[in-house]
Amino acid sequence: MTEPALPRQVGIGGVIAQADHGGTTIVNIDGLLAESLQQLGLMIVERRRDAEREAQLAALGRQLDVSQEALVGFFHILDVNAVPLEKLPHMLAEIAQRHREMLQRLGSLDPEDSAIGAIIDEARGVIDRADSQAAYDRADRLLGEAEALDLAAIHRVEALVQQAQAVAARRRLNAASTRVERGELSLTRLEYLQAAQHFKVAAAQVLGEDGALRAKYLDRYAGALVRHGDEKGDNTALLQAIGVYLQALDALPRERAPLDWAMIQNDLGTALSRLGKRENGTARLDEAVAAYRAALTEYTRERVPLDWAGTQNNLGNALLNLGERESGTARLEEAAVAYRAALTEYARERVPLQWAGAQNNLGLVLASLGERESGAARLEEAVAAYRAALTERTRERVPLDWAATQINLGLVLRCLGERESGTARLEEAVAAYRAALSEDTRERVPLDWAAAQSNLGLALWSLGERESGTARLEEAVGACRAALAENTRERVPLQWAATQTNLGLALWSLGERENGVARLEEAVAAYRAALTERTRERVPLDWAATQTNLGLVLRSLGDRESGTGRLEDAVTACRAALTEYTRERVPLRWATVQSNLGGALLRLGERESGAARLQDAVTACRAALTENTRERAPLQWAATQNNLGAALRHLGERESGTARLEEAVKAIESARSEYQQAGITWLDANLKTSLSRIEQLIEERRHMSE
């Protein structure tokens, strides 16, 4: 007699969350929307005349305190760099601010040579009215000429007697300050690597007698590299930045300028943290924690409260990333403490966007803790934290930060949805991911786009598991494969492994609904690939999750084969997962694996004449039900009840009485009622058939005993 197909077991996916690194300053442009700015830009680029637009241009120039010619140049810069519509106000304000500050600095320069002063004044005048890329190029050439004249003067002075060396030193500093302005000009044009090169040269021009200034320029050099590495996914740039920050610390002893030293330590921690998040080890993250803690020895709350709060926030990010790779919760609890500390100074009324960033990050750590607990309290707290963050992190104000918080909200909604019988939370999670993708485009932020795609795939899989069709599952596969185009093993090994895990889940579910085994074999390949990076030593809980999922697909393959090799492998994978998924550490995940183990043992027991495997299956299912309660995780409870019912049925068939069979009926009826309540109707026919057969057997035995 063919056994009816069992209902879905529970897989565990890999999520990719995004932390806020703080520091964004927004300058509002009153009275003009992004669309209006776009129209102004088109008028300028296309050289059209329009009285109303000209008036708006004049008003905007007054508001930004720049000349109309310079404003025209700004729009050309925005056009050349294809700045997205929603970022126009922010980028325009940022460019204008850099422009004003640059003019102020150039005006305060005091060159030794009147000819150089004249060139700098000329460059300042060109910049003040620069209305094209050519004008900026001319200003850069003029500053280069001024720098060259200073450098030429240096060479002449060095040939003089020792008393002239002081003059040469001043010239060198003047040349360095001019080179710094070239770096600032490159930053204005969003040319981060070119800016880094300018700052590097400026730092090299400052000799050992002024370590503080050299450290300042090195910090600017490293900061430009971090900006490039962060936005472009360039790990080499981040690694280079770390080395430059270390040079800056060598140039600036702590006792000479403690607050500047603390600033560089904080910046070093950020570079280490961002690179460590992409790498598979924890060494960089540990170094980041050490750098932040060092910064906090000088960045005290009493002395610089906002800098102290910012460093606490960054420390929380590094601890969170470490905690997600460890089986314990100590680091996660430390991260929560750091974020809550930051919020004591990041008041919403005072710094609303920093407050929102810390709320976002607090949500991340609460979600990580909630996933490891049987209750939903921490998860609900995480939802509240994300929704609070979104009250300030609006799409109009900070679109990419808004998208990051939408992704994080989707993660916790999916986790809650997995524990509920309905699909409302899962649908909300999918909506949150799709919202994030409206801003996190592949062209703009490739790694964030990949994270959203991977997480969307996981949510679609969760929904697809509860539906009879395969459309959601096919969508999930598509989303995961899309994510892997950017989440490569070389670039972000752990995110690649998480996406391979999510892909395996979707392929397994599709394979369960098809006659062939091709999808199931693909799923096995995806999980085994993930395990090459998700090792037990590196990320024990993620390793256990992938072992759990591998056990599921091996059991599915074993169901379709005459031998027991795959089923034995499935049992081994489940038992391996339980070495890290302990009841004390992660009770719900422990229960999930116990239920899956019961399913694999059940299949083995069906093929053996003895009852030992079936007894083990019953024991595993009963253990799972101590944590997978109906109130806490209704669908997992139903799946476990069904596995328990099947094991009891087979035991009952091999015994003479009806006690086991009656227990089986009770367990399967419990599972059926929950599935019906959840609207999962496609399993009902199988469960009804199974109940009918058991009840018929009970009736036959009762007649025989009369």
329-344 per-position pLDDT tens digit? 899 999 999 999 999 9
Q: Which helix (H) or strand (E) holds 215?
A: helix 211-232
Where does the pLDDT of residue 409 fall: very low under 50, low under 70, confident under 90, or very high at 90 and above?
very high
- Which residue type does 259 have? L
* Cα separation values, 674 from 589, 625, 666, 680, Å: 20, 14, 13, 9
> Which residue from 592, 633, 596, 637 is spatially nearest to 617, judged by alpha carbons?
596
The per-residue pLDDT for 166 is 66
The per-residue pLDDT for 361 is 94
The answer for residues whose C-beta is within 8 angstroms of residue 161's C-beta and 6 or more apart is none
pLDDT > 70 fraction of the chain, expressed in percent and rounded: 93
> Which residue from 629, 651, 650 is spatially nearest to 641, judged by alpha carbons?
629
CA dihedral 156, 162, 164, 165 (to 10 degrees): 80
**Percent helix, strand, coil in the chain (nearest 5)?**
75, 0, 25
- Mean pLDDT throughout 406-427? 92
Q: Please determine, for residue 410, whether its predicted confidence score (pLDDT) is greater than 60.
A: yes
| pLDDT tens digits, 308-331 | 999 999 999 999 989 887 777 899
pLDDT higher for 325 or 416? Answer: 416
CA 618, CA 610: separation in Å to the nearest integer? 14
The per-residue pLDDT for 536 is 87
| Residue whose structure tokens are 């074999």 | 521
| pLDDT tens digits, 559-618 | 999 899 999 999 999 999 999 988 888 888 899 999 999 999 999 999 988 899 999 999
- Mean pLDDT throughout 431-437? 97
Cβ atoms of residues 35 and 563 within 8 Å:
no
Where does the pLDDT of residue 29 fall: very low under 50, low under 70, confident under 90, or very high at 90 and above?
low
The per-residue pLDDT for 472 is 96
Q: Please determine, for residue 10, whether its predicted confidence score (pLDDT) is greater than 60.
A: no
CA 119, CA 98: separation in Å to the nearest integer? 20
The per-residue pLDDT for 314 is 96
Cβ atoms of residues 38 and 88 within 8 Å:
yes
The DSSP code for 376 is S
| Residue whose structure tokens are 């599921």 | 552
The b-or-e profile of 313-322 (16+ CB within 10 A means b, else e) is: bbbbbbbbbb
The per-residue pLDDT for 208 is 67
The DSSP code for 491 is T
The DSSP code for 428 is H
- Mean pLDDT throughout 352-371? 94
CATH 1.10.1060 fits 191-299, yes or no: no
| Residue whose structure tokens are 């310079």 | 70
The b-or-e profile of 189-205 (16+ CB within 10 A means b, else e) is: bbbbebbbbbbbbbbeb
| pLDDT tens digits, 645-685 | 999 999 999 888 899 999 999 999 999 998 888 777 777 78
Domain ranges of the chain: 25-189, 191-299
* Cα separation values, 549 from 117, 457, 703, Å: 70, 16, 44
Burial class (CB in 10 A: 0-12, 13-18, 19+), 525: middle
Cβ atoms of residues 365 and 316 within 8 Å:
yes
| pLDDT tens digits, 201-217 | 999 988 766 888 999 99
Q: Give the SS3 label for residue 341.
A: helix
The per-residue pLDDT for 2 is 36
CA 648, CA 656: separation in Å to the nearest integer? 13
Tell me the two tokens of residue 467: 């539906």
Could you tell me if residue 373 is left (phi over 0), alpha (psi between -120 and 50 degrees) or otherwise beta? beta
CA 31, CA 41: separation in Å to the nearest integer? 16
